[in-house]
């Protein structure tokens, strides 16, 4: 067996590593207003990025939930709903309650008004070289509260943005990402790498 064959053989016998990261790009109400005045219409996230640089914050790691692991395993057998542009959402909430594998929802202190799930931005989720990338844009009236947790969920087969839990929570992360206020636009991008 050649050394390159052996390296591949060894790799197939190692544990799979789950690595997750998140980035939030934040445009303030003033930045959104200035871009709107300049462009003559409410700007998209791409237009905002071209017009003015956002404040950016990152967060690494998260917890794969039991329900999320079950969803992944059903995909292997061909019986589960895949992460598609119409079935996938990114959610944020205001709870700092620790992650636990049995959680099936964001914890959202003081109820549903403090959690929000947003559908995917165009072209997401995407997969390349073992990395799933999900991206959602939270507009001026969406999720205006302290972002203290986030997660990705997958519904069947089409989900809508909102506070309703109607999908399987794949993962959850407690992370202080800031407080979104009315008039601001924030973009949440997450990556999940299996290697």
Q: What is the average per-residue pLDDT within 62-80?
A: 92
Residue 10 has pLDDT above 70, yes or no: no
Residue 57 has pLDDT above 90, yes or no: yes
pLDDT for the residue numbered 109 = 83
Is the Cβ–Cβ distance between 76 and 136 less than 8 Å? no
Split at pLDDT 50, 70, 90, the class of 111 is confident
32/46 Cα distance (integer angstroms): 12
Q: Which two tokens stand for residue 32?
A: 């959104």
pLDDT for the residue numbered 7 = 53
pLDDT for the residue numbered 128 = 94
Q: Which residue has the higher pLDDT, 38 or 3?
A: 38
Is the Cβ–Cβ distance between 174 and 92 less than 8 Å? no
Average pLDDT of the residues of the chain:
91
Q: Is residue 71 helix, strand or coil?
A: helix
Q: What is the average per-residue pLDDT within 167-179?
A: 96
**Residues in a beta bridge with 172:** 63
Backbone angles phi, psi at 18, to 5 degrees: -100, 115
Closest CA to 192 of 116, 139, 124, 99: 124
pLDDT for the residue numbered 137 = 97
Is the Cβ–Cβ distance between 60 and 24 less than 8 Å? no
Split at pLDDT 50, 70, 90, the class of 164 is confident
pLDDT for the residue numbered 3 = 52
Give residue limits of the domains in the chain. Answer: 62-194
């Amino acid at each position: 067996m050649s050394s390159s064959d052996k390296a591949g053989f060894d790799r197939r016998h190692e544990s799979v590593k789950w690595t997750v990261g998140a980035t939030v790009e934040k445009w303030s109400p003033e930045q959104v207003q200035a871009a709107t005045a300049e462009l003559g219409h409410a700007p998209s996230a791409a237009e905002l990025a071209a017009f003015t640089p956002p404040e950016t914050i990152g967060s690494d790691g998260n917890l794969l939930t039991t329900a999320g692991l079950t969803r992944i395993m059903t995909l292997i057998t061909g019986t589960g709903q895949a992460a598609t542009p119409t079935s996938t959402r990114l959610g944020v909430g205001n709870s700092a309650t620790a992650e636990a594998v049995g959680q099936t929802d964001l914890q959202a202190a003081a109820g549903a008004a403090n959690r929000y799930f947003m559908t995917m931005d165009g072209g997401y989720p995407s997969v390349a070289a073992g990395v799933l990338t999900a991206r959602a844009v939270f507009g001026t009236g969406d999720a205006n509260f302290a972002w203290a947790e986030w997660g990705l969920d997958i519904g069947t087969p089409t989900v809508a943005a909102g506070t309703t839990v109607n999908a399987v929570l794949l993962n959850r992360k407690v992370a202080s990402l800031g407080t979104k206020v009315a008039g601001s636009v924030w973009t949440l991008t997450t990556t999940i790498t299996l290697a």
